[in-house]
Amino acid sequence: MPFEPKDNSGVLFRNDRREKDSHPNANGSAIIDGVEYWISAWTKEGKNGKFQSLSFKRKDVQPKTEPPRKQSYGEATGRKSSYDEPDRRSYADDLNDDLPF
């Protein structure tokens, strides 16, 4: 019979991939009020002895990432192009151009 998580309960497992003190000692998951969470736990030492510090993160929340910004031709190649600079001429400048006829 497979494990069925129940509401308002969770499970933690020792983190075998821990490389730094900032990495959690244990990881797991929980369901709280029907919402799934990731759990991270750190074992710490306090004045009254050892204790567990917990962190909860919703499973359905994606990390915020900014979409990549499009580079101009000059940024991508290191060369300047007339397309890299905006046209700063105004309509009045066009009217003042010398006409060849």
Look up tokens 């499009």; give the residue: 70
Q: What is the per-residue pLDDT across 38-86, written as a single tens digit (0 to 9) for each?
A: 999 999 999 999 999 999 999 987 767 777 777 666 666 666 655 555 5
Strands (E), 1-101: 9-14, 26-32, 35-46, 49-58
Domains of the chain, residue spans: 9-58
Q: What is the per-residue pLDDT across 12-29, written as a single tens digit (0 to 9) for each?
A: 999 999 999 999 999 999
Indicate the pTM of the whole model.
0.56
DSSP state, 8? T
